[in-house]
Amino acid sequence: MQGLDPDVARILEGMRRNNTPPLWTQPIDAARKAYDKGLRLLDLAPEPSVAASDEPLGAGLVVREYAPERRAPGAGGLLWLHGGGYCVGSIETSDIVCRMFAARCGCRVFSAGYRLAPEHPFPAAVDDAVRAYDWALARLGEGAERPANLAIAGDSAGATLAAVVSLRAREADLPLPAAQILVYPSAIGRRPSASKQQFAEGHFLTLNDLEWFYRNYTQGRDRDDDPRFAPVAARTLAGQPRCLIIAAECDPLADDARAYAGALAGAGNDVSLEVFPGMIHGFFNMGGMVRGARAAHALAARFLSETLAGGSCA
């Protein structure tokens, strides 16, 4: 381990100077506001050339659709699922990342605003993610002469949901995603790991945050053997779509990413794991201040462009 990246170290030092309270110590409404505000301060400027519109699907689920100014021929699309431990975050906190993918890859992007815990505990987020995927497939396939070419992706809890949708697609009689992009997923549930102990404090996401998220989401129940919560527990991982997993070296969930990459590879899948040195959980949304985030964006956009036929990536 080479230590924290200097860009990341400056952010953490600023949080310490400002006495930023941990999410797990705050009421849920305050935690949501703090999370939204913090990400906006750290993220890139939004891409203005991408148009966006919201589609309410009922029962609390909203999907935001992004249309690039220049769409690559046959570029397909991407469904993005936001992070936030199933408790915080929204389509607003992923807005800039989704605009980035749409602009760089010339594809339509769909962002799912799934229901949050504790008001809507497990498996509400899973059910919403599957429903959003089904809707995006239909939306992308409208008027098309061939089946929709739809990839799925997300960060943190959203990455876990993306993995779960990929696993459940066959059970729901849906086409498999064209590919998966999983950015620091929680894949092993509440099981202990070396990275959870090593980075339990002082690296943005803490072990107390994780426990708070899981407690709100599962209502304190043990779900580690349920693949809808811990996808590594799936009976089989065979036949999964091509997968890029992006991890942060200094992240309690770094070993989750390694474990899921190893399990996918062991089941015969095409999987690539990229661990970004010196990065922390959440860095993918810190592109305005962290150069490593912009490198991760470029990697993910190239992967998506290669996957979606006809895509091109700036």
Could you identify the residue written with the tokens 């010196």?
278
Residue 189: name the closest of 266, 120, 36, 86 by CA. Answer: 86
Please give the Cα distance from 43 to 309 (Å, whole number).
29
Half-sphere exposure of 139 (CA within 13 A, CB side): 22
Helices 291-307 and 95-105: crossing angle in degrees, nearest 10, is: 50
Q: Which of 82, 203, 281, 297 is catalytic?
A: 281
Please give the Cα distance from 56 to 31 (Å, whole number).
25
Please give the Cα distance from 103 to 109 (Å, whole number).
10
Based on the residue annotation, tell me whether 281 is a catalytic residue of this protein: yes
Q: Which of 156, 166, 186, 195 is catalytic?
A: 156
List Cβ neighbours of 127 (8 Å cut-off, separation of 6 or more): none
Q: Which of 5, 209, 251, 256 is catalytic?
A: 251
- The helix/strand/coil state of 137 is helix
Q: Judge contact between 187 and 259, C-beta under 8 A.
A: yes
Q: Tell me the catalytic residues.
A: 156, 251, 281
